[in-house]
Amino acid sequence: MLSNIAYRQKPCKIISLTVYNHKHIDKLIGKNLKRLRTQRKLTQTKLGDLIEVDGNVISQLEGAIIGMGKDIMARLCNALKVEPADFYISEKTPLPSSDLERKALYIAREAEKMGVRYIAEEAVEYTTHRLQVVKKQEGKGAGKSKATRLKAGNG
């Protein structure tokens, strides 16, 4: 019976596959390091001071001249308050667009670490739903004055 079910399934089609080597990975990490550093308005020198390395090391990491070791990655994660996975985000990875989505992703990661993935999935679904509700409410109230929204109980 199971073999019949497996036989009837249609094979999936691979649309594209990117083949990476260590230089691609170093460039990806460097690009994300620069993005994270500039988002926090840190210079290379200042970030270097925070993790106790020379600013030139940050420049070399961002330019993919040198690769990032585990020790440096751990220091950078602590200084920038990010997860190691944040250094591996590519253009194909959708970035969260709001604080609410970032919180949902954080909760999902933490729940997955604790082995309660189903809770993580529920948290993401709930947060996504709440985000849609909030966006709809903001859209409805956009044309009204603040006094009108207060009378209606929307704000």
pLDDT in tens, 49-107: 999 999 899 999 999 999 999 999 999 999 999 988 888 887 666 555 666 676 777 77
Residue 5 — pLDDT band, cuts 50, 70, 90? very low
pLDDT tens track for 106-151 = 776 676 666 665 665 676 677 777 778 877 877 775 555 555 544 5
Q: Which residues are CB-neighbours of 40 under 8 A, at least 6 positions away?
A: 80
Contact 100, 131 (CB under 8 A): yes
Q: Which residues are CB-neighbours of 100 under 8 A, at least 6 positions away?
A: 127, 130, 131, 134
Contact 29, 88 (CB under 8 A): yes
Q: Is the pLDDT of residue 33 over 90?
A: yes
The correct answer on CATH 1.10.1040.10 for the domain covering 22-88 is no
- Which position has the higher pLDDT, 35 or 123? 35
Cβ-based neighbour number of residue 83 at 10 Å: 13
Q: Is the pLDDT of residue 22 over 90?
A: no
Helix (H) or strand (E) holding 51: none
Query: For the chain, which residues make up each domain, given as ranges?
Result: 22-88, 99-152
Q: pTM, whole model, 2 decimals?
A: 0.51
